[in-house]
Amino acid sequence: MAIRPISIPPLQERVPIVDEQRRPAPWLIRALNAAFKQIQTAFNGQAAIVEQLAILAGIVDDQGNIIADQQTQLDAQALYDAEISLQNSGTINPDSSPFISSDDAGNVTIEAHERRYGNMTLNPTVSVQSGLVATGLTVGAKVYIYYLDADRSGGAVSYAFTTDPADVVQSGNLHSVGSVVVPPAAGTGIGIPVVPRGIT
């Protein structure tokens, strides 16, 4: 889109620029309006050219939204891959004992195990130590166990619990371990671990 030169009508000689009430003469108002319209058109045209150049340079998309630079895009992809790897992770119990269990007092035992991530290239499998969580919950309560591990390095983690399954969605640093129901006095509750899925 070419920008045309701005053409401003010249002032007319011996023609008053104001009327008897000292208001601008009609011809002057028309001339100024014509000039301002040309200026506006020129600026709009220039803005359109700048926008097209920005699109061609990959700075903005065709909707005018700024496109992230390549490094930002790579960082966002890495965060996404890490998140999917965690969401698809789970526990692997290396021995035959119940992985997660509870007594009738609400004391939940978590055996030592491995955490296997969905993307084992990005996040290699790690060993996680055992733990005991004294929930204080009563018979029939369902307990969900989790821990936070920003580095995804396993080892000695601090187990925590909740009774709301929405609190143990694997995201960010939160690693869900499994759930167990507090059993009656006559028995020991055997829990259900979170198993890995979607391994790549």
pLDDT mean over 167-171: 93
pLDDT for res 32: 73
Overall size of the chain counted in residues: 200
So what's the pLDDT on residue 37?
75
pLDDT digits (tens, 9 = 90+) for 22-75: 777 777 677 777 777 766 766 565 566 555 554 544 555 566 565 556 666 667
- Any idea what DSSP says for residue 95? S
Q: State the pLDDT at residue 144.
A: 97
Q: Looking at per-residue confidence, does 55 or 113 come out higher?
A: 113
Is 92's pLDDT higher than 60?
yes
**Tokens describing residue 74:** 């790579």
pLDDT digits (tens, 9 = 90+) for 124-166: 999 999 999 999 999 999 999 999 999 999 999 999 999 999 9
pLDDT tier for residue 189 given thresholds of 50, 70 and 90: confident
91/36: higher pLDDT = 91
- Confidence at residue 57, expressed as pLDDT on a 0 to 100 scale: 47
Cβ–Cβ < 8 Å for 144, 168: yes
Q: Model pTM?
A: 0.64
Percent above pLDDT 70 for the chain: 68
Least confident of 80-89, 113-122, 140-149, 178-187: 178-187
- Residue 52 corresponds to which amino acid? Q
3 vs 13, higher pLDDT: 13
Can you list the alpha helix ranges (DSSP code H) found in the chain?
A: 26-56, 70-87
* Helix (H/G/I), strand (E/B), else coil: 128: strand
With beta carbons less than 8 A apart as the criterion, state whether 169 and 144 touch: no
User: Over the chain, what is the mean pLDDT?
Assistant: 81
Q: Tell me the domain boundaries of the chain.
A: 90-193
Residue 193 scores a pLDDT above 70: yes
